[in-house]
Structure 1
Amino acid sequence: MAQIQVGDILPSVSLKFCPYDSSLKNACGIPQNLKTDSFKGKKVVIFGVPGAFTPTCNNNHLPEYHEKYSDLVNKGVDQVVCLSTADAFVMDAWGKWANVSDKVIMAADGNGDFVKATGLVQDLTKNGMGAVRSKRFAMVVDDMKVVYIGVEFGVSVSGATAVLAKL
């Protein structure tokens, strides 16, 4: 599939997440569905990372979105979603470890349904990370329509600062 572009409608896909629990001791119970259809009528920033706890994702990408959350909200963003092809338990643990609280929804695309449907999938078997991984990206979705997308290796077009400049 071709990569999703500005002007495209976000595909209907179901992701998994663990609802935020203020007690860091509580592990995720039963992951809940997060359907992309729930973004209808909202402005949502979705950023994808190749792997939880990986160096660039952990040290640069996720922290910047957490730090700039209020700025994003002030620009009209309703939700910020971090997406990876990990499972919901890993995403929950990463969110707790990074202390993102309820600001960033840590969404799991465990089967790669979202990244495949949007053309944002990459094969990282050569790095020992598996055949279905997310590319590093950020997109702004306004009422299900993609109004910005940045895909890259680093964080110059997919980081929170780049997204803020596009809002």
Structure 2
Amino acid sequence: MIENGSAIPSVGIKLVTADGVSDATSDAVLGAGTVVLFTVPGAFTPTCHVNHLPGYVANAEKLHAAGVDRIVCASVNDVHVMKAWAEASGALGKVDFIADGNGDLAEALGIAKDFSGAGMGKRFARSALLIRDGIAQAVFVEDAPGVNASGAPAILMALEAANA
């Protein structure tokens, strides 16, 4: 698993932003400034759609005020699903989305989790990373169902502690 001080790997991804869809690499998207990357098991899944993403949308201004340059959500879904989720959730312009369709980034970061028992295959574990200039500064991986350590309120507290 990626650790504090580790560089973000370079993996091909699809990026969904308010400007549209583009091919990119993970290090290019996550490598400049202060970035919050949160990862979810799946777009439109109950906890991700109702609890995880909305917290980041609601707290986007607070995160930016705390020094975050970019908020990015990643999931092992295809780009069409990620684009539809970004649009349906009203997150475009506040959160950018990484479509990691084959799970390459999840594997490279070491936060892939096997959800085969639920019929979903390998996905991201629910997590959040604070990244500064392409280096992981803090990694929060949920150890139980729900959104606690990886939610926007927890990241805001971590940012406050780091800036104190």
TM-score, length-scaled by structure 2: 0.90
Q: How does 1:15-164 map to 2 (within 5 A)?
A: 15-20=13-18, 31-38=21-28, 39-130=30-121, 132-152=122-142, 153-164=145-156
Instruction: Determine the structure 2 residue equivalent to 1:24.
Output: none
Q: What is the DSSP-based 3-state SS (H/G/I as helix, E as strand, rest coil) of the residue aligned with 2:102?
A: coil
1:99: how far off? 0.6
TM-score, length-scaled by structure 1: 0.88
Alpha-carbon distance in 1 for matches of 2:3, 2:43: 25
Aligned alpha-carbon RMSD (Å): 1.3
User: Amino acid of the residue matched to residue 136 of structure 1?
Assistant: R
What is the aligned-residue identity percentage? 42
Cα shift readout 1:45-92 (whole Å, capped 9, x = no counterpart): 000000111111000100000000001101111110010000111011
User: Amino acid of the residue matched to residue 14 of structure 2?
Assistant: K
Cα shift readout 1:14-36 (whole Å, capped 9, x = no counterpart): 22023326xxxxxx6xx412322
Contact between 2:8 and 2:31, CA under 8 Å: does it hold in 1?
Answer: no
1:37: how far off? 2.4
Count of matched residue pairs: 156
Instruction: Determine the structure 1 residue equivalent to 2:162.
Output: none
Cα shift readout 1:130-154 (whole Å, capped 9, x = no counterpart): 2x21100000100111111111132
Alpha-carbon distance in 2 for matches of 1:163, 1:143: 17
Alpha-carbon distance in 1 for matches of 2:61, 2:17: 20
Contact between 1:17 and 1:92, CA under 8 Å: does it hold in 2?
Answer: no
Alpha-carbon distance in 2 for matches of 1:34, 1:104: 16
Unmatched segments (≥5 aa) in structure 1: 22-27
Q: What is the DSSP-based 3-state SS (H/G/I as helix, E as strand, rest coil) of the residue aligned with 1:18?
A: strand
Instruction: Determine the structure 1 residue equivalent to 2:158.
Output: 166
Alpha-carbon distance in 1 for matches of 2:155, 2:95: 15
Q: What is the DSSP-based 3-state SS (H/G/I as helix, E as strand, rest coil) of the residue aligned with 1:116?
A: helix
